[in-house]
Amino acid sequence: MSVADPTTTIDATLAATAALRCEGLVKAFQGVHAVNGAAFDVPAGQITALIGPNGAGKTTVVNMLSGAMKADRGRVFLGETEITGWPSHRIAQHGLLRTFQLSRELGGLTVLENLLTAAPNQAGDSFLNALLRPGLIRRQERENAERALHLLAVYGLYRHRDTPARELSGGQKKLLEIARAVMGQPKVLLLDEPMAGVNPALIDVLGGYILDLKKDGVTVLMIEHNLGVVERICDYVIVLAEGKTLATGRLSELRQNTEVVKAYLGEVMDASATH
């Protein structure tokens, strides 16, 4: 476990196998630093939680890692490849996909089409192929559709396959977001509060899906406030506070860390005690 040193990684072994790494990330909005030197490694093939109080800069960090937002300073590595400053579509094409805090379904597309949009390397995105190679496109579309239908069945959305995504319920949209990201065959998946606004029963289901992703070799980094979920499914935890990496380690270890308890865990525990 490391404490209050943003340059320190979880440990040397994990650093060597980091699927995603960031160094000294800085982002300011009109002079206010939302992220101020965040640095951490996300170990390959594990589920890592990114936790911290509100305003700690968690979503801003995820936005910078996924290319949705440009960092003012700092570097990001996906495996061995530096992806600093890459646009989000290029990062996604290299295997880092994400979901959003508020579900962002492609509302005018059907549920099946939402998944098909995420399928990588589609020949039919080229105008010339669309015009001149209908056979190739038909074959690829059929294969992708079969894979998408299987995923929809696994995620309990098959019966909604032809429904416009905007008509799904909140929980179903959460499921769709994860299924769609999985359709993109991610090496690293960033989940921004996947359990937010989800009922307790569905939280268990979603947790099961995330564990399944780990079994499939996907590295997961998830922002999560529900410490019960973090305890159950996450292997490692990164604590952000005031835009900096406060600590990294297992949750059980972090519970012993006074700074972490003071900055975040105490607050959460107090809050849960009042309910």
Partner 1 sequence: MTYYIFTLVFFLFDYFILAMGLNIQYGITGILNFAYIGFVAVGAYVTGVAAMPANTVGQHYILGLGLPFPFNLLLGGFAAMGLSVLIALITLRRLRTDYLAIVLVSLSLVFYDFCNNYVSLFNGADGLYNVPEPFAKTLGLGSNNFIVFFACLTGVVSLIMWFVMSRVMRAPLGRTFRAVRDDAVTAAALGKNTFWMQMKAMMIGSFFAGIGGGLLIQFGGSFNPTAWLPAETFVVFAVLIVGGAGNNIGMFVGALLVETLLIHLPAFLPEIPGHPGLIEYIDTVIVGVVLMVMLWFRPQGIVPARLRKTASFGVDERLDEEAGELDRTTALAGVGTRAEATR
Could you give the CA distance from residue 3 to residue 9 in angstroms, rounded to a whole number?
A: 10
Strand partners, 219: 188
Interface with partner 1, residue 68, by CB under 8 A: yes
Smaller CB separation from partner 1, 84 or 110:
110
Q: Are strands 188-192 and 73-78 parallel, antiparallel or unpaired?
A: unpaired
Interface with partner 1, residue 236, by CB under 8 A: no
Rounded least distance, CB 273 to partner 1, Å: 27
Residues 93-122 that bind partner 1 (CB under 8 A): 93, 97-98, 100, 104-110, 112-113, 116-118, 120, 122
Applying CB under 8 A, the span of 2-10, 11-19, 153-161, 213-221 interacting with partner 1 comes to 153-161
Which of 51, 56, 152, 220: binder of partner 1 (CB under 8 A)? 152
- Report phi then psi at 239, rounded to 5: -105, 125
Rounded least distance, CB 62 to partner 1, Å: 11
Could you give the CA distance from residue 30 to residue 22 in angstroms, rounded to a whole number?
A: 23
Which of 55, 134, 228, 266: binder of partner 1 (CB under 8 A)? 134
Could you give the CA distance from residue 273 to residue 186 in angstroms, rounded to a whole number?
A: 38
Interface with partner 1, residue 196, by CB under 8 A: no
Interface with partner 1, residue 217, by CB under 8 A: no
Length of the chain: 275
Q: Copy the structure tokens of residue 275.
A: 């309910």
Applying CB under 8 A, the span of 21-29, 134-142, 222-230, 234-242 interacting with partner 1 comes to 134-142
Applying CB under 8 A, the span of 11-19, 123-131, 217-225, 229-237 interacting with partner 1 comes to 123-131
Q: Which of 35, 90, 36, 101 is nearest to 67 (CA)?
A: 90
Could you give the CA distance from residue 104 to residue 203 in angstroms, rounded to a whole number?
A: 19
Could you give the CA distance from residue 227 to residue 71 in angstroms, rounded to a whole number?
A: 29
CA 146 to chain centre: 25
| Whether 88 contacts 95, CB under 8 Å | no
Smaller CB separation from partner 1, 134 or 266:
134
Which residues of the shown chain bind partner 1 in the complex (CB under 8 A)? 66-68, 87-90, 92-93, 97-98, 100, 104-110, 112-113, 116-118, 120, 122-127, 129-131, 134, 137-138, 140-142, 145-146, 149-150, 152-159, 161-162, 164, 169-172, 175, 180, 184, 198-199, 201-202, 205
